[in-house]
Structures are given as structure tokens and as C-alpha cells.
Amino acid sequence: NFHGSQPENIIDEMELLQKNIVDESEELPWESINPILRVRGPVASGYGRGGKKLGVPTANLPASLFQSALEEVQTGVYFGWAVIEQQQQRSQFKKGRNMPLKAVVNVGYSPTFEGKENKEKIVEAHLITDASPMDTSVVLLNNNDDGGGDDGEVAESSISSSSSPSSSSFSLDGDAYTGEIEGDFYNETMRLQLIGFLRPEQKFDSFPELIAQIHRDIGTASFALGSMPFVFSKEDEFISGCSGEDG
């Protein structure tokens, strides 16, 4: 299923908060999107490239479900909230199911793998956990430039690629789940709500440059989703109302 409608109140509140919190929005390494994009479908095995070559496992949604809807969607790297649905009894509950998960998502043709673009636009999501490699230096530079927070404290606690931005004073993560996601969840139903845009798709001159950019994408996405206004979007019914049942 593909949804491009904007949920009641969420977008208006996000845009108002964005204006109130940050006047220099053009300096942020992300931008909000309106309408938000919401997709739902069974996780496919995909190409397996994210986990094997990059150390960043991805969950792919079948391209056949969304081709017509994705035609007008700009290719690039997005971020938002995800849910892996589960309908089983509580005694069989798997970790990381039916709860909001941070996600960084590529929509497009993945042109950086040996010059072999996908024939169709695909949706590849990395679900961000405590084990995700991330580099938050880009967002921290922006915050330091704006004079927010304690520069020394932030630089020490969050600028390394292995630390989580949830430890910084800017984060409002709340009940976002960042622990282990049990199993590979192939064929399980996943919901994705994309609310922000990081950058267009691009080719890189070297494999290390690609990996470094992916780590920055993960760090920036995680930071943004733990901050206002994006942290509130997980309260949308599409994400918060998931109980493993069709809806």
C-alpha cells in the first residue's frame, strides 16, 4: 500500500515547530517533506548488498507494489519512522516488533554499486539500532554554529562515529526503540513513514567514500528523528496505532 496523504495535525504542527525552533533552516542538513510518504508491504529479500558489502543491513520493500506511486518521488535518501508488524501472541513476540523504529531510507536505483543501477526504483530501509554505525559530525557542526548547547560537551559525547546522538542534550528520543531487532524479518509486513529528506542519490569515487557517507546519513537521520519536530511524527496513527493487524 502507498499513502501520500498528510495525517491530521501532524504536518501542521511539524512545520510550525520547525519555524519556531530554527530560523536558519537552510543551514540544516535535512529538510521536511510535505506530504509525507507512507508505504506498507512485505519485506523482500532484495539484493543483500547493504549487509554483505557495507555492514549496513537493509530491509527492502518489493518494487512491484509501488512503481506507479514512486514515479513522481524524487530519488534520494530519506528518513522517518518504521514499524515491523507482528500478529502473534505475546508469548511468541519477537524483539523490535509493533513499536516505532528510526529508519534511513534510500528511494531510487542505488547507482553506486559497481555501476549497476536497479532497473526499477526500490525502497531500501536501514532500521537504526544501537549497533548501527553512525557519524553525527555534520549535525553537531550545524548545532555548534548556531550556538546551541554546550559545544565541549556535545563534541565529547556525540561526535564519534560509534556514539548515539540520543546521548546529547538536543535529543528527545522518548519511547523510540533502538535495541535488537530479532531475526531477518523477511516476509514480515513493514510500515514506513518518510518525513524528511537528506540528499539526492549520487555516485561516489571510492568505496570508502560511500561507506563514510552512509554512516553520516545514519547519524544525521538518527539525530533528526530524536529532535523536534520529527520526534513527534511517530505519534501518527500509521505508526503508533500498529498492533499487527491490517489497518
Name the catalytic one among 120, 124, 188, 235. Answer: 124
DSSP-derived letter for residue 232 is: G
Sign of the CA dihedral running 71, 112, 127, 146: negative
The 3-state DSSP class for residue 170 equals coil
Q: Give the contacts of 26 (CB within 8 A, at least 6 positions apart).
A: none
Report whether 93 contacts 141 (CB < 8 A): no
Angle, CA of 27, 204 and 30, to the nearest 5°: 20
Going from the C-alpha of 192 to that of each of 23, 53, 155, the distances in angstroms are 29, 24, 32
Specify whether 124 is catalytic: yes
* Residues marked as catalytic: 124
